[in-house]
Amino acid sequence: MITDIWTVIWKEWRELLFQRGNLRGIVLSLLPSIVLFGIILPSQIGRFWAESGLSLGLWGWLPMLPVTVVIADAFAGERERHTLETLLASPLSEQAILFGKVGAVVGYAWVLTLIILLVGLVTVNFVHGHGKLLLYPVTILLGGMVLALLTATLLATIGVIVSLRSATVKQAAQQLAFASIALTWIPLFGFGLLPTKLQASLLESVNNANNTQLFLISLFVLAVVDVGLLLAAMARFKRSRLILD
Amino acid sequence: MTAIAIRTLNLSRNFGNVQAVDNLSLLIPKGIVFGFLGANGSGKTTTIRLLLGLLEPTSGRAEVLGFDTRSHSDKIRQCTGALLEHPGLYERLSAEDNLEFYGRVWRLPPAKRRSRIKELLNNMGLWHRRHQSVGGWSRGMKQKLAVARAMLHSPPLIFLDEPTTGLDPVAAAALRDELQEIVAREGVTVFLTTHNLVEAEKLCQQIGVIRQGKLLAVGHPDDLRASAGSPRIEIIGRGFTPKLLDWVRSQPLVSSVDINGNQLLITLLKQTSAAPLVRVLVQAGVEIEEVRKGSATLEEVFLTLMEVP
């Protein structure tokens, strides 16, 4: 099954990266994100970019952008371009197709995030380093890499479920945009709607809690949600159902 | 004993109130091209989906290459190739990458994959275009590539769902020739759905006719023609007088008589010798140049079957 997953990832990356035709096209398509989040933003934020634990929020948020752009195409695109039935008529297992699609997008978003963060580190060193080498602390580096992977998987899996149910890429992209807005804003609005006393007590608990412990619990919760969503996607992915959709 | 490629027994599938496939029982031997003829919406594509295990039958059963479609659909997909309603090609990928992907899907070793891709693209006349994205290709070229993809892993059985639909006559004829050649060369069994009767007649050793999910007739094209259409005699000549035509019409075995210039078309009630009729016509002064005995065309057989209530 691992070989089959890699086969699907190979095809997805090939389609994704070579849709612009050549290497120059690939670089051009990635350049805006790298310039914005790897050069402009770090040069404005300064040393804080590399040294603060709060930058972990960025590690978690950055991979969501490429995932949102790409994942809508996963199944809705195959359906729209009439390639889905041929793919389903192949001996690839349902799990291999599903995990290959999710893996390709997560891998793409994760690698892009790491590239942006590496470029960001170079920028911070160049603009704000003053001759001293700035590096991400090991805990932030490791935690951030895992966080980026989990948030990319979260959105990719939601995206696959949406894409499986959508007739067109446009429809999937619209639904996914609503989903990502909801994911970002509902917790903030939800917190604001809580009674003031409860808000204060929650904030106090967070302030008093061990940050590392809190971060690890968040990672665990995220991982559990990811697994739950993957299982939901597997339950939804049935050849006979997709053929009739 | 002839080996069987496809066996279905009372295979049925409905979608709500619509009976897409209705008690279909078929026995298709290995090594032939089987043509499945039917109008749009007659159940041809649903039958292919059932045989590939992409849909579950409502009732009945089917075996493809000895594997049950319900319990071993993965094995069926492993040892078959398919060109379905659409070419199913990734248009942003090159021709070579499309085949490379499916070569990996079928786990062909890299060296075998490369040589097979080269062989098929050469056979289809597409080798020099292998690096081009297929998005810009004509429909005929895409169909050829899709046939190559279906044959890539040298499967013993391939499904071709209306492969020449939407092609111009030249491209359709070219694809038919390619198909004929490749089928002969690789000795593969083909399940071909079409509503192109010329195609069926040219390619198929056995034909099944389906209407509203029901199999109406199955057999060799010649047998179908003989069983469904009335025998006829076509006489080319000069001197067919009205009196003579009336005499021909009065003969007990003659069903109808049509005259079109110097061509006389006599439809008979059953197979009989043309010699007595020809002798009388010659004695009456008709100058006969040619006499041909024939039966109904496949198109007439098909149309007759479609009209049966």
Report residue B164 CA to chain centroid gap.
Answer: 11
B253 and B196 in a single domain? The answer is no
Q: Nearest CB to A92: which of B49, B89, B105?
A: B105
| Kind plus residue range of the DSSP H or E element containing B193 | strand B189-194
Min Cα–Cα distance to chain A from B210, Å: 22
Instruction: State the total domains in chain B.
Output: 2
Residue B290 lies in a domain: yes
Least confident of A58-62, A154-158, A232-236, B67-71: A58-62
The span from the CA of B152 to the CA of B103, in Å, is 7
Between chains, do A18 and B92 touch, taking CB under 8 Å as contact?
yes
Q: Do B88 and A86 touch (CB under 8 A)?
A: yes
Same domain for B170 and B236? no
Selecting from B49, B93, B107 the residue whose C-beta is nearest the C-beta of A15 gives B93
Check A243 against B107: CB less than 8 A apart.
Answer: no
B224 within a domain of the structure (yes/no):
no
By three-state DSSP, how is residue B217 classified? strand
CB contact under 8 A, B104 and A92: no
* Chains A–B, number of C-beta pairs less than 8 Å apart: 70
As a whole number, mean pLDDT of residues B203-210 equals 89
B130 with B244, same domain?
A: no
Quick check: helix, strand or coil at residue B265?
Answer: strand
| B156 and B296 co-located in one domain | no
Is residue B101 situated within a structural domain? yes
The CATH number of whichever domain residue B252 belongs to comes to: 3.30.70.100
Q: Is B225 contained in some domain?
A: no
**Distance from C-alpha of A117 to C-alpha of B202, rounded to nearest angstrom:** 63
Could you give the angle at which helices B110-123 and B169-186 cross, rounded to 10 degrees? 130
Q: B302 to chain A, minimum CA–CA distance in Å?
A: 29
What domain range includes position A119? 2-244
Question: Is the Cβ of A88 closer than 8 Å to some Cβ of chain B?
Answer: yes
Dihedral in degrees, nearest 10, Cα atoms B77, B81, B84, B87: 130
Q: State the smallest CA–CA distance between residue B55 and chain A in angstroms.
A: 5
Tell me which residue in B55, B107, B149 faces A240 most closely, judged by beta carbons.
B55
Q: Is the pLDDT of residue A19 over 80?
A: no
- Judge whether residue B286 has pLDDT over 70: yes
CB contact under 8 A, B77 and A11: no
E-strand ranges in A143-188 read none
Average pLDDT over residues B211-237: 81
**B142-169: average pLDDT:** 88
Final residue in a domain of this structure, among B219, B245, B262? B219
Chain segment B29-47, per-residue pLDDT in tens: 988 899 998 888 889 999 9
Q: What angle do CA B60, B66, B71 make, to 5 degrees?
A: 55
CB-nearest partner of B90 from A3, A83, A85 = A83
Residue B24 lies in a domain: yes
Helical ranges in B217-309 per DSSP H: 221-228, 242-250, 275-283, 298-307
Last residue of a domain, one of B219, B239, B260: B219
Residue B201 CA to residue B36 CA, distance in Å, equals 11
Residue in B14, B54, B58 to test binding to A, most A beta-carbons within 10 Å:
B54
Mark yes or no for CB contact A89/B85 under 8 Å: no
CB contact under 8 A, A14 and B101: yes
Joined together, the tokens standing for residue B60 give: 């009945």
Measured between alpha carbons, how far is A29 from B249 in angstroms, rounded to an integer?
Answer: 80
Position A132 scores a pLDDT of 83
**Domain count of the fold of chain A:** 1
B205 and B77 in one domain? Answer: yes
CA A43, A48, A50, A55 torsion-angle sign: negative
Contact B90 A18 (CB under 8 A): no
Are B214 and B263 in the same domain? Answer: no
Which of A8, A13, A20, A85 to substitute to test the interface with B, most B CBs within 10 Å?
A85
Averaged over A142-166, what is the pLDDT? Answer: 90
Lowest mean pLDDT among A108-122, B173-187, B194-208: B173-187
Q: What is the pLDDT of residue B295?
A: 67
Q: Which domain holds residue B248?
A: 230-303
pLDDT above 90 covers a percentage of chain B that reads 35
Does the distance separating the beta carbons of B107 and A244 come in below 8 Å? no
Read off the CATH number of the domain in which B152 is found. Answer: 3.40.50.300
Q: Which of B14, B72, B100, B104 should we substitute to test contact with A (largest number of A Cβ atoms within 10 Å)? A: B104
Check whether residue B296 and residue B209 sit in a common domain.
Answer: no
ipTM: 0.82
Does the distance separating the beta carbons of B77 and A90 come in below 8 Å? Answer: yes
Q: Which residue of B has its CA nearest to A97?
A: B105
From chain A, the residues in CB contact with B102 under 8 A are 90
* pLDDT single digits (tens) A196-242: 888 888 888 777 777 778 888 888 999 999 999 999 999 888 887 77
- The reported pTM is 0.80
Q: Which residue of chain A is at minimal alpha-carbon distance from B131?
A: A21
A3: CB partners within 8 A, 6+ apart: B107
**pLDDT confidence bin for B228, thresholds 50/70/90:** low
Query: Of A226-230, B231-235, B284-288, which has the strongest mean pLDDT?
Result: A226-230
Q: What phi, psi does B255 have (nearest 5°)?
A: -90, -45
The secondary structure of residue B259, as a DSSP letter, is E
* Interatomic CA distance for residues A21 and B93, integer angstroms: 9
Q: Which of B28, B22, B89, B80 is nearest to B53 (CA)?
A: B80
What does the DSSP 8-state code read for residue B242? H
| Domain boundary pick from B175, B199, B219 | B219
* In a shared domain, residues B207 and B251: no
